[in-house]
């Protein structure tokens, strides 16, 4: 009788151990190493110097997300026009590179956020700063933007004055074209322009020249990756609420007021479980 009781007890213990072993084999949400698409030439946001060292708000955010979600981020250069393609073909598993949330992109990828708000502005040579006081002063000028960016669409459709558009792969090429006199103006998100001006004393950003819709940056993911989307969304909310957002902003853009750029942590976009067919 005693033997039977002991056997049943041993069997129960073995079953409990087996069951707990089964439940503990749950896969982690992220692999130990994650390729993250980063901008290579946006000072203050995503910048890689000649030694390969990266810096900027997006770089800091990437590192922080890695530490919070237990993965080692490997930053991979992405250019604006290839970000959706790189996510779709798994060249990168995530994009943190001034990636604006847009309806057009949301049909192809998921973008969690926003973690930043800005509006489109312009950058001109400092010696020409007096010529640019309003959007109307851009009439007839040559404007440099990156291919495939929302900035390109807004210069085409929302600027309201006729300009000549020159497209480059990255904004660093636009900045060089500005100094070379090949273009009159560089146009993109004001926060990106402030970042460029941080390392270039020869440029000015007319604060009053803004146009188009608000740009909201988010973290790009493959479409339908709802589990990771929810995890990142929760971390972004914490990032904004706990004050780390302010620290990163002030550290990377010390001369810019953060208030109008901080998003509402309670109004982050909903994660989608399946590809949108609309």
Name the residues that contact other proteins, by CB under 8 A. 100-104, 106, 117, 119, 150-151, 153-154, 157-158, 212-214, 216, 269-270, 278
Pick 91 or 269: Cβ nearer other proteins: 269
| Cα 104–chain centre separation | 16
Antiparallel, parallel or unpaired: β 94-95 and 109-125? unpaired
What are the beta bridge partners of residue 74? Answer: 35
Pick 101 or 231: Cβ nearer other proteins: 101
Please provide residue 116's backbone torsions phi and psi, each rounded to the nearest 5 degrees.
-155, 145
Kindly tell me the sign of the dihedral angle through the C-alpha atoms of 156, 167, 223, 42. negative
Pick 125 or 261: Cβ nearer other proteins: 261
Provide the minimum distance between the beta carbon of 153 and other proteins in the complex, in angstroms, as a whole number. 4
Q: Cα(125)–Cα(3) distance, rounded to whole angstroms? A: 91
Provide the minimum distance between the beta carbon of 158 and other proteins in the complex, in angstroms, as a whole number. 5
Q: Cα(266)–Cα(20) distance, rounded to whole angstroms? A: 37
Are 163 and 139 within 8 A, CB to CB? yes
Pick 216 or 235: Cβ nearer other proteins: 216
Q: Cα(216)–Cα(218) distance, rounded to whole angstroms? A: 7
Provide the minimum distance between the beta carbon of 90 and other proteins in the complex, in angstroms, as a whole number. 24
Provide the minimum distance between the beta carbon of 277 and other proteins in the complex, in angstroms, as a whole number. 11
Pick 63 or 214: Cβ nearer other proteins: 214
Provide the minimum distance between the beta carbon of 62 and other proteins in the complex, in angstroms, as a whole number. 22
């Amino acid at each position: 009788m005693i033997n039977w009781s002991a056997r049943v007890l041993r069997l129960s213990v073995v079953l409990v151990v087996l069951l707990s072993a089964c439940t503990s084999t749950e896969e982690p949400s992220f692999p130990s190493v994650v390729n993250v698409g980063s901008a290579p030439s946006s000072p203050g946001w995503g910048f890689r110097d000649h030694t390969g060292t990266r810096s900027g708000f997006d770089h800091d955010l990437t590192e922080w997300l890695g530490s919070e979600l237990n993965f080692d981020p490997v930053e991979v250069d992405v250019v604006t026009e290839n970000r959706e393609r790189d996510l779709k073909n798994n060249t990168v598993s995530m994009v943190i590179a001034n990636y604006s949330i847009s309806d057009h992109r949301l049909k192809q990828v998921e973008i969690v956020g926003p973690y930043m708000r800005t509006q489109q502005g312009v950058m001109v040579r400092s010696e020409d700063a007096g010529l640019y006081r309003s959007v109307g002063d851009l009439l007839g000028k040559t404007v440099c933007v990156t291919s495939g960016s929302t900035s390109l669409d807004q210069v085409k459709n929302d600027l309201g004055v006729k300009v000549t558009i020159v497209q480059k792969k990255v904004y660093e090429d636009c900045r060089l074209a500005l100094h070379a006199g090949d273009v009159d103006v560089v146009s993109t998100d004001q926060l990106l322009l402030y970042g460029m001006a941080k390392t270039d004393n020869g440029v000015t950003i007319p604060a009053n020249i803004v146009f188009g819709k608000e740009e909201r940056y988010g973290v790009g993911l493959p479409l339908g990756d709802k589990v990771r989307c929810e995890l990142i969304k929760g971390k972004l909310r914490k990032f904004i609420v706990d004050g780390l957002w302010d620290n990163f902003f002030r550290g990377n853009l010390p001369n810019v007021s953060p208030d109008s750029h901080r998003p509402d942590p309670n109004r982050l976009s909903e994660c989608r479980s399946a590809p949108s067919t609309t």
